[in-house]
Amino acid sequence: MGVTGRKVRIGIIGCGGIAHAHMQQYLKFDDVEVVAGADLIPHKAEKFFEEFGVQAKCYNSHTELLEDESLHLDGVSVCTYNMTHAECTIAALKKGLHVLLEKPMCVTLEEGIEMMRAEKESGKILTIGFQPRFDENMKMVKKVVQSGVLGKIYYIQTGGGRRRGIPAGTHTTFIEKDTAGLGALGDIGCYALDVVLNALNYPKPLSVTGYTSNYFGTDPNYVRYQQNNHPEFAKKFGVDDFAAGFIKLEGDIIVDFRISWAMNMDTPGDTIILGTKAGLRIPSTDCWNGSIGGPLKLYSEVAGEQIVSEIPMKESNVPCFELKVRSFVDAIEKDLPAPIPTSQIIYNQAILSGIKKSADLGSEQIKVEIPEV
């Protein structure tokens, strides 16, 4: 049991796809009870809890749920689509609740700053759900970088892509502007940035030049839409399916970034980190979602010889999604800091927002200015 001597009481805001993964983890923990859920779609929260055989109170919006003080909640999982991340998170923090928020943090940098202000005023935990952080191979990337073996790091290439992988199966919340706000850029671009920025202890972004396109998403002949019999998807597509960016970080480091939900290529390249003493290659995967595609490779020079060393892949005993949700519960119970803090992820968000702004304005080099919170 937690510090309160009772089970941690959780509510779930947004009972769609990813809420299932949150619920599956909470059900594994005998020191947690999920007591409430909310969804804007009528009866969706009720059906969600029926599926799990869990008795919980159901509401038609985050506001209704948060106003019910009889629930005595400790925290919430915010599992809504990107465009309501900020609204739901700020409202929960203002009610004095801890928040585990799904990635990406939000859509705009301004929203991110408002969320951090609400977090600071509340004194509660706001952690952002980047589960790849808990993967043993991701941890190894950070260990290699932090060991100093690469020397001075000056250039990073990061990103990933899918040949045909626009996430629009049964619903369209990932591809509509009003719900998603960002496309591949926010959905999987946030992971690609976190891999490298976390390894480097999140250096501050200084400027961003960005580009986005949507040639595949808006094409009614896009093969996946036909398979799903949803010819309307192309009309609904209102976000990017490809994004690229050129980012300057403090410490004289360049990041060359590209991300794609659909492209005529197998991969837009592995993630590479170049240093003056060694370089690190992090192999990409077919379905980029923040996992590592094979052993890390370290390129260095020993006694005048150019060598390549392989770092064997590590197995994780516990799935990283479970570790992400567990780390939130532990932070609540043991009064720990947020496992994946906004002080880091706001830099990730600033880059995503900078790429979008630069692309929308058609302008080069947007200066990144992040207000103090």
Ligand X SMILES: NC(=O)c1ccc[n+]([C@@H]2O[C@H](COP(=O)([O-])OP(=O)(O)OC[C@H]3O[C@@H](n4cnc5c(N)ncnc54)[C@H](O)[C@@H]3O)[C@@H](O)[C@H]2O)c1
Site string (175-214) toward ligand X, x via CB under 6 A: ------------x---------------------------
Q: Which is nearer to ligand X, 50 or 369 (CB)?
A: 50
Of these, 84, 214, 344, 358, which contacts ligand X (CB under 6 A)? 84
What sign results for the dihedral spanned by CA atoms 230, 17, 70, 116? negative
Rounded Cα distance between 89 and 288, Å, is 27
Which of residues 131, 157, 344, 353 is near ligand X by CB under 6 A? Answer: 131
Residue with tokens 């947007």: 366
Quick one: which segment of 32-40, 141-149, 192-200, 212-220 binds ligand X (CB under 6 A)?
32-40
Q: Of 67, 53, 70, 93, which is closest to residue 9 (Cα–Cα)? A: 70
Based on the shown chain and the rule CB under 6 A, indicate whether residue 358 belongs to the binding site for ligand X: no
Q: In the complex, what is the shortest distance from the CB of residue 65 to ligand X, in angstroms, rounded to a whole number?
A: 8
| Closer residue to ligand X, CB minimum distance, 88 or 274 | 88
CA proximity to 175, closest of 222, 210, 115: 222
291 contacts ligand X (rule: CB under 6 A): no
CB of 175 to ligand X, least distance (A): 11
Q: Using CB under 6 A, which of 77, 80, 108, 349 touches ligand X?
A: 80
Q: Taking the CB of residue 96, how many other CB atoms lie within 10 A of it?
A: 12
Cα angle value 89/261/179 (rounded, 5°): 30
Give the residue at shortest CB distance from ligand X: 16
Return the residue of 173, 207, 218, 285 that touches ligand X, per CB under 6 A. 173
Residues in the chain: 373
Q: Which two tokens stand for residue 198?
A: 């976390």
Q: In what order do the strands lie in the sheet with 296-302?
A: 305-311, 296-302, 278-282, 271-275, 153-161, 253-260, 242-249, 205-213, 366-367
Indicate which single residue of 2, 17, 203, 269 sits in contact with ligand X (rule: CB under 6 A).
Answer: 17
Is 285 an interacting residue with respect to ligand X (CB under 6 A)?
no
Distances (CA, A) of 125 to 13, 100, 226, 289, 328: 16, 8, 43, 25, 8
Round to whole Å and give the CA distance between 335 and 75: 13
Residues 86-125: x where in contact with ligand X by CB under 6 A, - otherwise, as a string: --x-------------xx----------------------
Stretch that binds ligand X, among 10-18, 139-147, 303-311, 312-320 (CB under 6 A): 10-18
Q: What angle do CA 265, 163, 221 make, to 5 degrees?
A: 110
d(CA 239, CA 180): 7
**Region near ligand X per CB under 6 A, out of 76-84, 312-320, 325-333, 348-356:** 76-84
Is residue 16 a contact point for ligand X (CB under 6 A)?
Answer: yes
Tell which one of 27, 44, 316, 370 touches ligand X (CB under 6 A). 44
**Counting contacts by CB under 6 A, is residue 62 touching ligand X?**
yes
Which residues contact ligand X (rule: CB under 6 A)? 13-19, 38-41, 44, 61-62, 79-82, 84, 88, 102-103, 129, 131, 171, 173, 187
